[in-house]
Structures are given as C-alpha cells and as structure tokens.
Structure 1
C-alpha cells in the first residue's frame, strides 16, 4: 500500500473541502456546508485548537480525511475520494480517529446517513460500531465503546 497519514494543518482546509465535495454518497456542496456552519474559518479554528484532523495520502496525493470533535467524542467527518475507495484509506483514517477519541472518551459516536447501501455504514459496522438510534428520516447515530483494557 502506498498510503500515508498525516496531521492536517490550516493549509489543508481547501483540500478538505475538495475531498468532501468530491464524494458521491452523502454529498454536500460547499454552499450546503456553509449553511450548516462548516466554513473555512471554523475548520481552521478547529485544526489550530487541537490535533483533530488527518489527511490520508495515496502516492503522495491527498486522498481522504477524517476529523473529530474531541470535546463531544464525535467522529465528525470521514471521506475518501471515490476513485480511491477500496484501498484501505477509510480504515486507516477511522483507526486514527478512534485512537484519539478513545484517549478522551469511553464511548464515541458519529452521525451518518442510515441508508444500508452507504459504503460508510459497512466500514463502521466492520470496525465494531453499532447503530444506536434513528435520528430522523435519514440520519442514524453509531456508537463504539472503548475496548476493555484499553486505558486512557
């Protein structure tokens, strides 16, 4: 595998938006993200305040990213460019996000589209996440507990 993982910096914010808007499943445009309060300024502030985002590179090119909310114990985002799905990048990003979140929380969570056909749902289930709630007509909540014996 020619994948690497690195901590995101404020210089990566445009790359994060580029990857996020490239996906076909659970797609949001930059305008839709802005309407939800997800702006370059918000991402920059989060990245500057804590190690909370990582970029996966495939052959030295940004291919995916994950971002967490350390205070809430939430996996906030995990996206991989569609052309590079199936190369283990999502798993690599998910493992790093879980590792960091479990340093601060015994139970971590995420919200995503509940459609069983979504690739992300299969990834989360395979990694031991459990769907715990239907939040609305579309979104569900997944949770994962810190493994027994894995201290803070």
Structure 2
C-alpha cells in the first residue's frame, strides 16, 4: 500500500472509488464532477490517495475554505485493511498542522461511516437540514487521541 498526496491525474481513480461505494451513494453521479475534484485539490484544499498495484483504492479530501472533510472513501473491495483510518489520520494531521482549529463533516445516519467517525473520536454536534449526522473534531482533541493511541502501542 502506498499513501501519498493526491494530484490532478488521480481524479479518474478517485471518482471510480467514489462511484463504487455501497453507502453514502450519490443519488445523482453528475453532482460531483471532475471540476469539483480539481477545485478541491488545486484551490480549496488538499487530498491523499492510497494505491495498491498502481490502482487507487481510497482517497480523502479536506476543504480548507470551509474547514470541512469533503470526502473519505475506500473501494469496498479493500474494506477493513486500515486504509480509511490511515487516510483520515494523514488528512487531519496535515490540516491541524496548518493551524486549523476545528474540522467538521456530515454523513448519513446509521452508516458504517457514522460508526467510523464516532470510533475515531469525532463529536456529534447536531443533524443537518438534510438529515445527516454532523460531527466536529477540534485540533487539541485529535492530538490527544493520537497521543493516547501512540502510548497504547508502546
């Protein structure tokens, strides 16, 4: 597995992964375009990918302009290998090193993603108008979570 910063050439692979997911499926696939990915990677944020045998199997993108996790998806064929957690941690570590104080995201209720974020230490702060669960993570909370994790490994 290779984890690295995402580049524009990764957009087709990221889009393929996004369309392969079984939960949080886009009701209209035209809603997220190649231009949206480009804007996130070049203007608004940053992204990371995981490759196996030169194939993108997961990706994460943060939108710095809104302090929002824009995307975190893993190809269902590569579930439960730690890919999502590693992408999550890379994205949050980078974001918080830039002195962002707090990030937020929303996801469908009752999904594996909701469980993932709760286990990762995100705090639920409400429900969006569309019915998604809204979570927030503060920089200091993430640093404490990482520190506890490192201590438990030692």
Indicate the RMSD between aligned Cα atoms, in angstroms. 2.0
1:78–1:90 contact (8 Å) kept in structure 2? yes
CA drift at 1:89: 0.2
Aligned to 1:54: 48
User: For residue 133 of structure 2, what is the aligned residue in structure 1?
Assistant: 140
Residue 97 (structure 1) aligns with? 91
TM-score (norm 1): 0.84
Please give the secondary structure, in 2, of the residue aligned with 1:86. coil
In structure 1, the partner of 2:67 is 73
Tell me, yes or no, if the aligned pair for 1:70 and 1:104 is still in contact at 8 Å. Answer: no
8 Å CA contact 2:45–2:63 kept in 1: the answer is no
Pick which of 42-51 and 118-127 moved more.
Answer: 42-51
Cα shift at 1:33: 4.1
Instruction: Name the counterpart of 2:14.
Output: 16
1:27 match: secondary structure: coil
In structure 2, the partner of 1:34 is 30
Preserved contact between residue 44 and residue 65 of structure 2 (Cα < 8 Å):
no
User: Using the alignment, how far apart are the partners of 2:53 and 2:9 within structure 1?
Assistant: 19
- CA, structure 1 residues 84+70, in 2 after alignment: closer, same or farther (shift >3 Å)? same
Q: In structure 2, how many angstroms separate the alpha carbons of the residues matched to 1:57 and 1:82?
A: 14
Q: Is the 1:74–1:101 Cα contact (8 Å) retained in structure 2? A: no
Distance 1:4 1:55 in 2: 8
Give the helix-richer structure, 1 or 2: 2
- Structure 1 stretches of at least 4 aligned residues deviating more than 3 Å after TM superposition: none
TM-score, normalised to structure 2, is: 0.83
Residue pair 1:7, 1:51 contacting (<8 A) in 2 also: no
What's the secondary structure of 1:28's corresponding residue? coil
